[in-house]
Amino acid sequence: MPYISEQVKQADWKSEKHVPVIECADTIKAGELTPVKVTLGKAVAHPNTTEHHIRWIDLYFTPEDSPAPYHIGRFEFTAHGESTDGPNTGPVYTHHEASTSITVPEERCCDCGCGTLQAQAYCNIHGLWESTKEICIE
Of 23, 7, 27, the closest CA to residue 108 belongs to 27
**Which of 18, 53, 80, 96 is flagged as catalytic?**
18
Say whether 123 is catalytic. yes
Specify the residue, 36 or 40, whose C-beta has the smaller distance to Fe ion: 40
Say whether 52 is catalytic. yes
Shortest approach of Fe ion to residue 52 CB, angstroms? 6
Strand arrangement, sheet containing 70-76: 27-28, 127-137, 115-123, 54-63, 70-76
Beta strands per DSSP E along the chain: 20-23, 27-28, 34-40, 54-63, 70-76, 97-102, 115-123, 127-137
Residue 123 binding Fe ion, by CB under 5 A: yes
Specify the residue, 123 or 137, whose C-beta has the smaller distance to Fe ion: 123
**Which of 17, 53, 80, 96 is flagged as catalytic?**
17
Which residues lie near Fe ion (CB under 5 A)?
Answer: 123, 126
- The catalytic residues are 16-18, 46, 52, 123, 126
